[in-house]
Amino acid sequence: MVCNHDLEKICEIDLKTVITDPIQPIDPRVRSITVNTKDSRFVVGTYGSELWEFFYSDDEISKETGYEVKCRMRGHYFLINIGQMKYGEFVL
């Protein structure tokens, strides 16, 4: 849920529908969020130990706001789901 400075609800963002990455979040529940209004972006940390960065072009977030979403970090649960890996291998 996105609120304004008076804690009034503006809209809700469902991470499962907004994130179009081929590899969906392991656990998309929001654990933390930080907002940078100067650069029109915010970063969401999930319970799946992932960081998703959202960019928006509107001056303010509304129900109609579109987002460009990038995964900045995959959590340790991600490695469990991609199968067997050799020692020292990693995924970018």
Say if CB 57 and CB 37 are below 8 A apart.
no
Contact 51, 64 (CB under 8 A): no
According to the model, what pLDDT value does residue 47 have?
A: 84
Taking the chain (92 residues) in consecutive chunks of 10 residues, what is each chunk's mean pLDDT? 75 80 79 84 86 84 80 68 52 50
Distance CA 85, CA 92 (A): 14
What pLDDT score does 35 carry?
81
**Domain regions of the chain by residue span:** 2-81
Would you state the pLDDT for residue 17?
80
pTM equals: 0.69
| Distance separating alpha carbons of residues 4 and 61, to the nearest angstrom | 9
